[in-house]
Amino acid sequence: MSTGIFSPAVKNIDKIIILLEKQYPDALETSLGHRDAFQLLVATILAAQSTDKLVNKVTPGLFRKYKTIHDFADADPEELEQDIRTTGFFRNKTKNIMGAARALVKDFNGEVPGNMEDLISLPGVGRKTANVVLGDCFKKPVIIVDTHMKRISHHIGLTLNTNPDKIEFDLKKIVPDAKQTVFSHKIVAHGRTICIARRPKCIICPILKYCKYGQENA
Ligand code: SF4
């Protein structure tokens, strides 16, 4: 993994964003299916150590069966475990989903709060999950540090940090507010198609000339 801040990348962040927007015009929001903030919260908890594809196979049936926050809060844990089993780590995820639903009913009037502090007070909800919900459902400017953002922000040379919270704060200083959420989604698309973990396709990458790793390795 390439390390070190790469000043051409920082200086040209606006150009990088424009190039990514052109390359991935359809990557406008999370690929996790949802109809409201609570469903997205559940889907994002399920997506931990799993894939969006796998989660999207489970959630349509899950949300037909458990229609409200109360349905999740009052669920039979063993039944819910079986309902989400294929996403992996299903015991822990059941605990987190039911814990979050119960806390929302008890402390937040059954509504998903639209701020970081309250969201991360919920069981199983870290900054990444909170940022997904805040960005897509509350239209707040967020940097979502998932595995793609972690890897690619290092490759490009936008951060020296490996801790996701520190990466988030580094990128929030570099990426303009109005572009933060969209940048997060474009980076996921980039990580899935061109800047692939084991073999980034630098030669066809639209941001090659601004990328530290690309300049050193392509
Ligand atoms: S140049 Fe290579 S390492 Fe840099 S972002 Fe593009 S694909 Fe990834």
pLDDT string in tens for the chain (218-residue length): 444 578 889 999 999 999 999 999 999 999 999 999 999 999 999 999 999 999 999 999 999 999 999 999 999 999 999 999 999 999 999 999 999 999 999 999 999 999 999 999 999 999 999 999 999 999 999 999 999 999 999 999 999 999 999 999 999 999 999 999 999 999 999 999 999 999 999 999 999 999 999 999 97
The answer to whether the CB of 214 is under 6 A from ligand 1 is: yes
Predicted confidence at residue 6, as pLDDT, reads 80
* Whole-number pLDDT of residue 4: 56
Give the separation between CA 63 and CA 164, rounded to whole angstroms.
Answer: 30
| Ligand 1 lined by 211 (C-beta under 6 Å) | yes
Residues 6+ apart with CB under 8 A from 98: 72, 73, 75, 77, 80
Residues marked active site are found at 128, 146
Ligand 1 contact, 155 CB (< 6 A):
yes
Q: Are 131 and 168 in contact (CB under 8 A)?
A: yes
Q: Where are the domains of the chain?
A: 7-28+142-217, 37-136
Å from CA of 175 to ligand 1 middle: 18
Kindly give the distance from the C-alpha atom of residue 153 to the centroid of ligand 1, in angstroms, as a whole number.
10
Alpha-carbon dihedral 146, 170, 176, 186, rounded to 10 degrees = -20
Q: How is residue 12 annotated by DSSP?
A: T
Specify the fold of 37-136: Endonuclease III; domain 1 (1.10.340)
Which residue's CA is the closest to the ligand 1 atom numbered 8? 195
Query: Is the CB of 142 inside a 6 Å radius of any atom of ligand 1?
Result: no
Degrees to nearest 5, angle at CA 190 with 97 and 199: 105
Tell me the CA distances in angstroms from 130 to 23, 70, 81, one per residue in order: 27, 20, 23
> What is the reported pLDDT for 138?
98
- CA 48 to CA 25: how far, in whole Å? 26
Query: What architecture is domain 7-28+142-217?
Result: Orthogonal Bundle (1.10)
Beta carbon of 149 within 6 Å of any ligand 1 atom: no
Task: For residue 157, report the distance from its CA to the centre of ligand 1, in Å.
Answer: 10
Distances (CA, A) of 4 to 52, 144, 188: 31, 20, 21
Find tokens 């039911």 and name the residue: 98
**pTM for this predicted structure:** 0.93
Tell the residue nearest (CA) to atom 2 of ligand 1.
Answer: 202
Rounded to an integer, what distance in angstroms lies between the CA atom of residue 154 and that of residue 176? 18
